Structure 1
Amino acid sequence: MSTTVAVVGGGYGGVTAAKALDEFADVVLIEPRDAFVHNVAILRHLVDPGWSGRLFFPYDRLLARGKVIHDRAAAVEAGAVTLGSGDRVPADYIVLATGSRYPFPAKVEETIAAEAADTLRDAHTALAAATRVLLLGAGPVGLELAGEIKAAWPDTAVTIVDPAPDILGATALPGELRAEVRRQLDEAGVELVLGTALSAEPPHEPGRGGAFTVTTRSGERLSADIWFRCHGVVPATEYLGGGLADALDEKGALRVGPDLRVPGHAGVFAIGDVTAIPEAKMAKAAEQQAAVVAANIRTLLEGGTDLATYSPSSPGIALPLGPHGGASYNETVGVLGAEATSKIKGTSLRVESYLELLNLDR
């Protein structure tokens, strides 16, 4: 085969696209990490280090024909990816799947799995010793982390602060779901301090142990032994320049057309958190977009012009609050409680799905 597809980013969308295209093109997956990070399970691992074997997965079985280059994309232009090493990877098609950055512990910065595991282990030790935990952000990450902490250490006091007037912010999720999540949080003893923010951040770095007291803008004093920032997602698009940078919106996300191509660049596609598609940034969405892109590149390789399009999903969520708690929603089934959510996601956190995706179940 003489057609090269460079997939930039080895997260959920990137590995899905690379695997789907491996049979039809010369695939080059560019990813600086030495292992796939199953971010869906990272908060469980934080409270239960026994999950270490189910958080970092090797890439070496993913592709039968293609190859994985462990390096970062320093620059991308139509037709080529320049690596951090200075090497250049020419490509007929490029799939941008670099995802987003998010504060620890929802994501880790380290590219070496062993180093990331050490960081998580240190945070676990500090968290296990804490009697009071402060979480900044009442979105899905803050709520899920609160649930994990309470499931692991029921007597640990957990407080969540968010300037929004309700949990889950401005997401288009029904009040019934929010009410069910609040009910479970209240039952677990999680304190919600909403409609205000801290006057100043705590004196310690997030994830580091050490008692402190902070004050909210509404005048409430809060004491804790450790804190985590649970907000602040940023699309990872800093490597884009030239014409591709013109497609970035004001938040740094890439605009794409219905066929998931970057406007003005017929051979460049984008998927996942890096896009400006107006929907929740979840692994499932990235995987669905990857399937559309893989189908479209195959169509183009075969000389076709009728490309598939992607429609943003309607609002939905599966929000575990520990292994046996949580709530879920989609417009077809409505709101589901703790038992159903545990079966959908809470107990397994979809580990088996990603072992299969990476060909590690064989």
Structure 2
Amino acid sequence: MTPERKKKRVVVVGGGVAGSLLCKTLLNHKHLDFTLIDSKEYFEVSWANLRSMVEPAFAKRSVINHHEYLPGASIITSDAIGIEEDQVSTMEGRMIEFDYLVIATGHIGTSFVTKVEKLRQYEAENEKIKSSESILIVGGGPTGVELAGEIAVDFPTKKVKLVHRGTRLLEFIGEAAGKKALDWLTARNVEVILGQSVDLSSSSDGVYQTSSGEDIVADCHFKCTSDPIGSSWLQETYLKDSIKDDGRLMVDANLRVKDFENIFAIGDVTDIPELKQGYLAQRHALVVAKNLKLLSNGADESTLVKYTPASPMAIVSLGRREALLQVWCVTLIGRIPGMLKSKDLFVGKTRKQLGLKA
């Protein structure tokens, strides 16, 4: 009689788009026991959060308590603060042992721990938008452009100004896409100011000053610039030499952290040369899930799945019906790409991936 194989212990740090799908995929695997460590008690469909600002009820589907899709799983709501040889330490003083570790900490984001707090935040932001006649948006990347589009469509009488330090919008994709986004926004009375930044800390009585000395008057503002990479907690660990200057973790083709056979990284925290997007983070999660299953089954390392960086593709929603799509050098804007994303923002699809009703 073959003795029962001891389950391998997997610790996943980060319950965002990558970590959540990885845990769901590993749930109930006969050779793996996992523990999810996350600073908050919920997973959020992050690319839907701007819709939740103009329609708070939308967040009731896009903000999901971890226990809803991981029933019976081991979940620790705390910050991870360190790694020893086979243990992860948490802010609350716990030491969680692992055979395999997966780092999925993405970007430093929300400070709201509970789902209730997060839903209240959207209510507050919605009220701020509704009570303001003029709104300043700082940042012309996908977040700033999508928020401007959401407000312009749902609140067309609001005066929206978008300030971006770059010379064009959506610098992460092609120049034509940035020009189409600019034309779309200006056609809906969004004032776009390029090549300037705003010192939000120096604002006074609703007056904001740009780097060129221009005054902008607005009832409220939203900062839509990039959050820092969530790797600062690793700087004093033995993974510090695997962190690049930009804060991203170096990974190999199997998505293992450089120089470590039992530590993986997925999502935006990795240095994979591709656009940092949610659906790609989900691909990372599925590759690592396969590799963990192979390793737990005693497979040879030569059989591990390799990840191939994705070709450039991006969809930026523009309100509820339209979007901008870029695939390679082809750029489309309007209702057709909007049919792919803008109505539901892939929330139903993401919920189904987690085994929930769409």
Map of 1:325-340 to 2, 5 A cutoff? Answer: 325-331=322-328, 334-340=330-336
Change (3 A) 1:122 1:17: same
Partner of 1:300: 295
* TM-score normalised by the chain length of structure 2: 0.91
Q: Does 1:279 align with 2:274?
A: yes
Change (3 A) 1:216 1:238: closer
Among 51, 63, 69, the residue aligned to 1:56: 63
Q: Does 1:316 align with 2:310?
A: no
| 8 A contact 2:83–2:238 mirrored in 1 | no
2:85 & 2:316 partners in 1: Cα distance? 38
Q: Which runs of 5+ in 2 are unaligned?
A: 1-5
The Cα offsets for residues 83-134 of structure 1, whole Å up to 9 and x where unpaired, read as 22212111110110111025xxxxx321111112222222221211111111
| 8 A contact 1:77–1:244 mirrored in 2 | no
Partner of 1:158: 160
- Is the partner of 2:294 in helix, strand or coil? helix
| 8 A contact 2:69–2:354 mirrored in 1 | yes
- Is the partner of 2:160 in helix, strand or coil? strand
Among 55, 69, 80, the residue aligned to 2:76: 69
Among 213, 219, 235, the residue aligned to 1:225: 219
Q: CA deviation at 1:65?
A: 6.7
The Cα offsets for residues 38-84 of structure 1, whole Å up to 9 and x where unpaired, read as 21111111111121312311222434674222222121234221122
Partner of 1:145: 147
Partner of 2:86: 79
| 8 A contact 1:184–1:325 mirrored in 2 | no
| 8 A contact 1:165–1:194 mirrored in 2 | yes
Q: CA deviation at 1:147?
A: 0.3
Q: CA deviation at 1:217?
A: 2.8
Q: CA deviation at 1:273?
A: 1.4
Amino acid at match of 1:168: L
- Is the partner of 1:246 in helix, strand or coil? helix
Amino acid at match of 2:346: R
List structure 1 runs of 4+ shifted beyond 6 angstroms: none
Amino acid at match of 2:57: G
Map of 1:57-136 to 2, 5 A cutoff? Answer: 57-63=64-70, 66-102=73-109, 108-136=110-138
Amino acid at match of 2:328: E
| 8 A contact 1:325–1:338 mirrored in 2 | yes
Q: CA deviation at 1:304?
A: 1.6
1:93 & 1:300 partners in 2: Cα distance? 10
Partner of 1:10: 15
Q: CA deviation at 1:165?
A: 0.8
Q: Does 1:267 align with 2:281?
A: no
Partner of 2:206: 212
Q: Does 1:194 align with 2:199?
A: no
Q: CA deviation at 1:342?
A: 2.0
| 8 A contact 1:26–1:65 mirrored in 2 | no
Tell me the C-alpha RMSD between the 2 structures: 2.0
Among 230, 234, 259, the residue aligned to 1:236: 230
Q: CA deviation at 1:244?
A: 0.7
Partner of 1:348: 344
| 8 A contact 1:82–1:88 mirrored in 2 | yes
2:84 & 2:189 partners in 1: Cα distance? 51
- Is the partner of 1:100 in helix, strand or coil? coil
Change (3 A) 1:186 1:73: same
Identity %: 29
| 8 A contact 1:202–1:212 mirrored in 2 | no
The Cα offsets for residues 157-203 of structure 1, whole Å up to 9 and x where unpaired, read as 1111112111112x2x23332232122112111111111223x3255
| 8 A contact 2:323–2:341 mirrored in 1 | no
Q: Which runs of 5+ in 1 are unaligned?
A: 103-107, 205-209
2:281 & 2:22 partners in 1: Cα distance? 9
1:343 & 1:155 partners in 2: Cα distance? 25
Q: CA deviation at 1:237?
A: 1.5
How many aligned residue pairs are there? 348
| 8 A contact 1:62–1:357 mirrored in 2 | no
2:72 & 2:62 partners in 1: Cα distance? 25
Q: CA deviation at 1:211?
A: 5.1
Partner of 1:207: none
2:286 & 2:267 partners in 1: Cα distance? 11
Change (3 A) 1:238 1:218: closer
2:273 & 2:39 partners in 1: Cα distance? 28
2:112 & 2:181 partners in 1: Cα distance? 32
